[in-house]
Amino acid sequence: MRADIKKTLGDLVPVIERPRSTFHCKVYDFLPPLRILIVDQSIVLVSRYDPASETGWDAPQLCFRSQSSGESSEFTKSFENLFDILWDSGCPLEQRHCE
């Protein structure tokens, strides 16, 4: 698993270092408990991170979608807050001491 992570990070470094790149990646010294995808602040896809998974996409996923009235947007905001907590605890890939 560690070799897979190093290979993936090696593939990402050139993308991150491109001029005008808006791609950001962080590494962690713990397993993030959730994989979170937020689309247009209205759709949230959440799945449990499973290191035993071949692709990561075979884990059950939950999907929350805000209604047009906006009354269900609390799911989106809650997961944005959780994402921010996880993001803030990570180390930028560009900092070589994290590898």
Domain membership of residue 89 as a residue range: 2-98
pLDDT band at 72 (very low <50, low <70, confident <90, very high): low
Residue 71 C-beta-side C-alpha neighbours within 13 Å:
1
What is the C-alpha separation between 47 and 29, in angstroms, rounded?
20
pLDDT digits (tens, 9 = 90+) for 31-71: 767 777 777 777 888 888 777 777 766 777 888 777 766 55
- Read off the pTM: 0.58
Total structural domains in the chain? 1
Write the CA distances from 44 to 9, 11, 19, 53, integer angstroms: 25, 27, 30, 21
The whole-number pLDDT of residue 39 equals 78
